[in-house]
Structure 1
Amino acid sequence: MNRLPSWVILTLTLAFLIGPFLIIIAAALSAGNSLAFPPQGLSLKWFIKVFTIESFRASFGVSMFLAVGGTLTALALGIPASYAMTRYRVPGAEAVRLIVSSPIIVPGIIVGLALLRYLVLPTGIGMLTALFLAHTALVLPYAVRVVSASMENLRTDMEEAALILGCTRFQAVTKVVLPNIRGGILAAFILGFVTSFNQVPVSLFLSGPGIRTLPIDMIAYMEINYDPSVAALSALLAFLSIGIILAAERFLGFSKYV
């Protein structure tokens, strides 16, 4: 009897978290022509239709480019920064960490508006370039924080031993440090990829004709069409994200880094 309240609370919590996802899946399986719950019959036709919509295919390519390219660029910047802040006494290191974290502290709408007003409009750079820079900046805090945590847990005497045995500093980093923190680097990449791919507020301000990320294209599609294809695409993206996270947890112990 004493356990009943705990089970009730757990059940309500799971229903709150998983319930919307189950509703979206049910709506995506509807045989009807409008987005509704409960579904009007069962059919997979909307899952099939998702792959026939040209705008979804184009915006998926844009989102993949931004997620992969932006995350790799953020790691290229974040790994040296993390190494410097964990291995050396950098003046103002805490201020640097705060500045680097600002893209995830400041609301995305403000970041998007600021980039549009003070970067895109004055310089006239293309929307794709602006999106790439924005997504890189948004992912950089995750790269720095996760990689820094991995480096702080790495014993410094391993690197020192490599230096004593004749390695240069660069060789010690590439042959000792990076191989030993590859789990953290991969975790940072996965976290950055998922964050970038699902980004909405900043992308909303920096999207333009012919250049849209997939989440923004889904919003635009729903303004004209109200069929279950958006629910089907949402379900597919949710399964993709869940699969990536489960694989990362299985092979990397993802929860150790985030």
Structure 2
Amino acid sequence: MTQRLYAPIILLLVMIFLIGPFFIIVAASFSAGDTLAFPPQGFSLKWIAKVFTVESFRQSFAVSMFLAIGGTLTALLLGIPASYAMSRYKLPLSETVRFLVSTPIIVPGIIVGLALLRYFVIPVGLSITLALFLAHTALVLPYAVRVVSASLANLRSDMEEAAVLLGSSRLGAFFRVVLPNIRGGILAAFILGFVTSFNQVPVSLFLSGPGVRTLPIDMLGYMEIVFDPSVAALSALLAFLSIGIVFAAERFLGFSRYV
């Protein structure tokens, strides 16, 4: 009886630990006060409205959207052929290649950002925008390869062979048979990569510069100057956006099957 009582209590404490900060931020974003504080001082929507009036937020949001969409699409363009080759052919050192592709997940992002800044941006003169784009693409590539590989593993290879026997070329079978049957995995990889890239902080912290800042980095800089609830309001909006995207992906794609 005691064990049955402990389990729900422990579960409740874990849920409070994980979700509690989110509810605190949401509550603070509706505060009527002029400083970021909890419990909130009254109720107001003025900080939610202010988020859309800050020019730096709008510019950094556009930069983050460009990096998240462009970087994820580029990662998919590289990751889909790589996943197909490693899944369908016995290539030498394929496991080594798979491990190397996964290194951006294993290596801390702060090291990746520092290395790009030290060896590419400073000595080579690589532009900050291009460096950010390459970094976000590299960070998203492992997710693209892993999710698409999982989709290919669940796809029967004899379907493709049947298309070839019926007169289709290998390339035609890939576009007409393989891609339509793994589109759910591709969309899941895109959503996972988009969310990962959009919320990326360590790499962007090193590679951001004047006029080119992602939204999370801009929020950090804003808090150094102004300590009002607008950052909490923006954080709540971004959290709801991420939750909505993941929920929709799970509802329509079965997101948990791929990750």
TM-score bucket of the superposed structures, by smaller chain: over 0.9
- Aligned residue runs from structure 1 range 126-137, under 5 A: 126-137=127-138
1:16 and 2:17 aligned = yes
Deviation at 1:82, TM superposition (A): 0.3
2:66 aligns with 65
- Aligned residue runs from structure 1 range 28-177, under 5 A: 28-177=29-178
Aligned residues: 258
Can you list the C-alpha shifts for 1:63-104, whole angstroms capped at 9, x where unaligned?
Answer: 000000000000000000000000001110011011100111
TM-score, with length taken from structure 1: 0.99
- Cα distance in 1 for partners of 2:206, 2:188 equals 28
The alignment partner of 1:234 has SS state of: helix
Can you list the C-alpha shifts for 1:227-255, whole angstroms capped at 9, x where unaligned?
Answer: 00000000000000000000000000000
Q: CA RMSD in A?
A: 0.6
Deviation at 1:6, TM superposition (A): 1.3
- Aligned residue runs from structure 1 range 188-227, under 5 A: 188-227=189-228
* Structure 1, unpaired ranges of 5+: none
* Structure 2, unpaired ranges of 5+: none
- Cα distance in 2 for partners of 1:97, 1:119 equals 25
- Cα distance in 1 for partners of 2:85, 2:122 equals 35
- Cα distance in 2 for partners of 1:123, 1:188 equals 32
- Cα distance in 2 for partners of 1:163, 1:117 equals 49
For 1:44, give the aligned amino acid.
Answer: L
- Cα distance in 1 for partners of 2:173, 2:113 equals 40
- Cα distance in 1 for partners of 2:104, 2:116 equals 11
1:249 aligns with 250
Decide which moves more: 179-188 or 116-125: 116-125
Can you list the C-alpha shifts for 1:187-239, whole angstroms capped at 9, x where unaligned?
Answer: 00000000000000000000000000000000000000000000000000000
- Cα distance in 2 for partners of 1:11, 1:28 equals 25
- Cα distance in 1 for partners of 2:123, 2:170 equals 42
Deviation at 1:3, TM superposition (A): 2.2
Decide which moves more: 68-77 or 123-132: 123-132
- Cα distance in 2 for partners of 1:36, 1:68 equals 34
% same residue: 77
- Cα distance in 2 for partners of 1:142, 1:119 equals 24
Where does structure 1 differ by over 4 angstroms across 4 or more consecutive aligned residues?
A: none
